Amino acid sequence: MSTLIIGTAAALLVFCAPGYPGATGDAQPLVDEFATAAAAAANWPPGSLTAAYDASDEGGLAKLGQPDAALAFVPFPFFVEHATMLHLEPLLQADVQGVGARERWTLLVGKRAGGEGAAALAGYTLASTAGYAPQFVRRFGVGSFPLPADVKITATGQVLSSLRSAAAGERVIVLLDQEQMDATATLPFGAQLTKLAQSNPVPVAIIALVDAHLSKARADSMRAGLMKLAKSDSGKATLGRLRLQGFIAPDLPPHSAAP
């Protein structure tokens, strides 16, 4: 673990959301606004918290490897996959508009597939926005479903195409987050899909400390500041632009970080 402790120097907050819509240029003004509001709520000096956004797993990892990276705002699958390597320590859990602080993931297969049992899925491809995090998929995303070892897990931001393939009887299964699953109710081919498995409730997203780069005092003040951010009109507005309602104390499943 790094021995660098960021005291009063500027710290970097890295947002990384692999598989979800949003380009760096589009998101940067929003994460800049959030960093400014978070620093003010934590009583940090102006300019002491900067932010960067990356929509890829690789890009997020690169940014989180920078010496000034002190905080990570990431989906729970990313946390599970990389927490041990990056020395991530949960600080808070996000409360997301329309979803809440926890969600269930659902595994779907086409009804035209040869069978719905685990053995019938040998050689299938599993497509998901969380496909970059196979540890999450196997340990949390599919619940207790015995996913065959030879299922190929792939990352995609085009789940609709994968759902069409599954509905058409191709050898594809699709793992959806809660919002994606809710949206399947409006699909014209939704009746051709069936549920194979569902996860237990898991966090949607985590704000974590990175490699102990923040002193305890600064980490504590940031935690307190973020917890109260939703109590002001300006804070609510900033959160709303990122589709957030606020933050709660982290409540993670046991052994959530990959070894």
How much of the chain, in percent, has pLDDT values that exceed 90?
83
Note whether 207 and 225 are same-domain residues.
Answer: yes
Note whether 57 and 128 are same-domain residues.
Answer: no
Note whether 95 and 152 are same-domain residues.
Answer: no
CA distance 45 to 24: 26
| pLDDT (tens digit per residue) in 94-116 | 999 999 999 999 999 998 775 55
Q: Domain range holding 214?
A: 11-100+203-248
- pLDDT tops 50 at residue 3: no
DSSP the chain: -----BSSS-EEEEEE-TTSS--HHHHHHHHHHHHHHHHHHTTPPTTSEEEEEESSHHHHHHHHTSTTEEEEEEEHHHHHHHHHHHTEEEEEEEEETTTBSEE--EEEEETTSS-SSSGGGTT-EEEETTTT-HHHIIIIITTT----TTPEEEE-S-HHHHHHHHHTT-SEEEEE-HHHHHHGGG-TTGGGEEEEEEPPPEESEEEEEETT-B-HHHHHHHHHHHHHGGGSHHHHHHHHHTTEEEEE---PPTT-S--
Note whether 96 and 112 are same-domain residues.
Answer: no
Note whether 144 and 115 are same-domain residues.
Answer: yes
- Considering 162, 182, 198, which residue would you say is the last residue of a domain? 198
Considering the domain boundaries, does residue 254 fall inside one? Answer: no
Note whether 121 and 189 are same-domain residues.
Answer: yes
Query: The domain that contains 138 carries what CATH number?
Result: 3.40.190.10
| pLDDT (tens digit per residue) in 137-169 | 999 999 999 999 999 999 998 899 999 999 999
Note whether 20 and 78 are same-domain residues.
Answer: yes
0.85 cut: is pTM over it? yes
Note whether 93 and 39 are same-domain residues.
Answer: yes
How much of the chain, in percent, has pLDDT values that exceed 70?
92
- pLDDT tops 70 at residue 126: yes
Partnered with residue 147 across adjacent β-strands are none
What integer is the mean pLDDT of 115-126? Answer: 84
Considering the domain boundaries, does residue 257 fall inside one? Answer: no
Note whether 93 and 177 are same-domain residues.
Answer: no
Instruction: Describe the crossing of helices 233-241 and 24-41 by its angle, rounded to 10 degrees.
Output: 150
The total of structural domains in the chain comes to 2
- At residue 114, the pLDDT reads 54
Match 């409730």 to its residue by tokens.
Answer: 201
Please work out, in degrees rounded to the nearest 5, the angle formed at the alpha carbon of residue 199 by the alpha carbons of 256 and 114.
130
Match 């104390």 to its residue by tokens.
Answer: 249
Do 96 and 162 contact (CB within 8 A), yes or no? no
Considering the domain boundaries, does residue 1 fall inside one? Answer: no
- Model confidence at 24, pLDDT cuts 50, 70, 90, reads low
CA distance 259 to 251: 19
- At residue 26, the pLDDT reads 76
| pLDDT (tens digit per residue) in 46-85 | 999 999 999 999 999 999 999 999 999 999 999 999 999 9
Note whether 82 and 116 are same-domain residues.
Answer: no
Considering the domain boundaries, does residue 187 fall inside one? Answer: yes
Of 9, 15, 16, 113, the C-alpha closest to 67 is: 9
* Chain mean pLDDT for the chain: 91
Do 205 and 92 contact (CB within 8 A), yes or no? no
- At residue 4, the pLDDT reads 46
Name which residue leads in pLDDT, 213 or 5: 213
CA distance 71 to 68: 9
- pLDDT tops 80 at residue 23: no
Do 258 and 81 contact (CB within 8 A), yes or no? yes
